[in-house]
Amino acid sequence: MNRAALPPLLVVTDRHGAHRPLAETVRAAVAGGARFVWLRDRDLDREARRALALDFLAALTPLGGHLVIGADIALAAKTGAHGVHLGGTAGPRGIAQARAALGPDALIGVSAHGPEEVAAAAEAGADYATLSPIFSTASKPGYGPALGLSALEACRTLPIPVFALGGIDANNASICLDAGAAGIAAMGSPMRAADPEAETRALLRTLGG
C-alpha cells in the first residue's frame, strides 16, 4: 500500500495491561476510529494468536483498516493479515524474508530504538518503523532511557513513516507530530483505558484524524 496513506494511529496490543478481554478492547478501539493495529502479545500460543488475528481482521477489513502481526511471518500469511511487524534484530534478511513471503503489497514494519536503526530499516525495504521509547513508559520498561523528541527530528529526512512509541497519550501526541513523526503507536493509553473507544477518539482528535 501507499506508505503515505498509513493511518496516524497504530494501536499496539497488550492483553496484560487491558482492563477488558483483548478482542473486546481492540474492537472498542476500532469503534473509536482505529484503523491500524499491531497484534503483539508474543507470549500467546499460535492458535490463540490466530483466533485474535481473525477477529481483528473481521473488524478492520470492512472499514479499510490494517492488521500487522508481530514477528510471525507465517501467521501473517496464514491469516491474510495485511503485514508483519518485525523486531529490530530481524535485520535486512528478516525484512527480505517477510517481503518474499507476503508479497510486494504487504506492510512490513520494524521496531527501532534510534534514528540509525530507522535508516537501516528503510534501506532494507521496510514500509514504516516505530521509534521507542520517546518518553518514559510503564508499558515497555527496560528499553533504555527516553530518546526524546530530538530522535524524531533526526528522522525527518528518512523515506519511511516513523511512529513515535513509548509514553504517548492524548496530552503529548501532537508534539510528536510537530517533531516529525508520521503518527504515534500507542499501547498503554488505549489498552489500559476504562473506555478504549473514547480514548481512541481522543487520540485521533489530537492527531487531527
pLDDT tens readout for residues 52-109: 999 999 999 999 999 999 999 999 999 999 999 999 899 999 999 999 999 999 999 9
pTM of the model: 0.95
Query: Which residue carries 508479497 as its cell?
Result: 103
d(CA 2, CA 24): 29
pLDDT reading at 48 higher than 80: yes
Strands 66-70 and 162-165 come out as unpaired
Answer yes or no: are the C-beta atoms of 133 and 172 closer than 8 Å: no
pLDDT tens-digit readout, 186-204 = 999 999 999 999 999 999 9
Percent of the residues in the chain that have a pLDDT greater than 90, as a whole number? 90
Any alpha helices (H) in the chain, and if so which ranges? 22-31, 46-60, 73-79, 91-102, 115-124, 149-153, 173-178, 188-192, 196-207
d(CA 182, CA 184): 7
